Amino acid sequence: MTNSTTPHTVPRASLKRLPLYLHLLENLMADGVEYVSCTQLAKEFDFDAILVRKDIELTGEVGTARIGFKVATLIGSIKSFLGWDKEQDAFLVGVGNLGKAILGYKDFKKYGLNIVAAFDNDSRKVGTKVFGYEIFSTSKFGDLAKRMHIYVGIITVPPEHAQEAVDLMVDAGIKAIWNFSPAPLRIPEGVILENVRLTQSLAVLTNKLKRVFKS
């Protein structure tokens, strides 16, 4: 009776809340907390408790009335649901300011993402090392990706070169692309594209701010 009610379309909004819970749960775990209720979780984020329960329901985890959910197993369920239980190896293309910051960020491993190599087409960067990662020429991307069975690609090149990076990745058999450039990209059927648009977040901020100043 766990997954019989699971809808075939996972709400994107739920998918985005689950990492929030996970992060908090890991803190609770570290503090030795054994059980947590939806009410408690909800309070932390100013969500509705029922919303949290519905999100958790997606993962298949079942709780106990009056007690809530076991922190340790809930962490496992969320990770498994998100695909963070086993590490995904990834290649990064574009070792500029943002690319470097991502290479230097150790926590992605916790979230199942293991960056194994980085690529750039600037000959001055090729051969150098950044946070222990050797920078390869993009010409090596295809061979290495196939040899190492890489299915995840991260794009941190300028927008005008983002489509090139996509094409490179698609040719190399990459199945999922995490794109940080603001360019609209074309991908073939079957390849997953997830965009990080900082300006979207900025838009929400400034629009709200505008209304604060008005009133």
Ligand X SMILES: NC(=O)c1ccc[n+]([C@@H]2O[C@H](COP(=O)([O-])OP(=O)(O)OC[C@H]3O[C@@H](n4cnc5c(N)ncnc54)[C@H](O)[C@@H]3O)[C@@H](O)[C@H]2O)c1
Partner DNA sequence: AATTTATCGATATATAATTATCGATTATAC
Partner DNA sequence: GTATAATCGATAATTATATATCGATAAATT
- Rounded CA gap, 151 and 148, in Å? 9
- Residue 55 burial by CB count (10 A; 0-12/13-18/19+): exposed, middle or buried? buried
Could you say which of ligand X, a second copy, DNA, none residue 120 binds, taking C-beta under 5 to 8 angstroms by partner kind?
ligand X
In the complex with a second copy, which residue's Cβ is closer, 2 or 201? 201
In the complex with DNA, which residue's Cβ is closer, 69 or 136? 69
> Which one of the spans 26-34, 37-45, 159-167, 169-177 is the region binding ligand X (CB under 6 A)?
159-167
Helix axes 159-171, 141-148, angle to 10 degrees: 50
> Which one of the spans 62-70, 94-102, 113-121, 175-183 is the region binding DNA (CB under 7 A)?
62-70
Helix axes 38-45, 49-59, angle to 10 degrees: 120
- Rounded CA gap, 46 and 11, in Å? 19
- State how beta strands 129-130 and 133-137 pair: antiparallel
- Residue 124 burial by CB count (10 A; 0-12/13-18/19+): exposed, middle or buried? exposed
Cα Rg of the chain (Å, integer): 20
Shortest Cβ distance from residue 121 to a second copy (Å)? 19
Number of residues binding to DNA, judged by CB under 7 A: 29
> Which one of the spans 19-27, 67-75, 116-124, 134-142 is the region binding a second copy (CB under 8 A)?
19-27
- Residue 39 binds to DNA (criterion: CB under 7 A): yes
Q: Is 190 left (phi over 0), alpha (psi -120 to 50) or beta?
A: left
Using the rule CB under 7 A, which residue among 18, 59, 68, 95 binds DNA? Answer: 68
Shortest Cβ distance from residue 175 to DNA (Å)? 23
Lay out the site mask for ligand X across 52-91 (x = CB under 6 A, - = otherwise): ----------------------------------------
- Residue 101 binds to ligand X (criterion: CB under 6 A): yes
- Residue 49 binds to DNA (criterion: CB under 7 A): yes
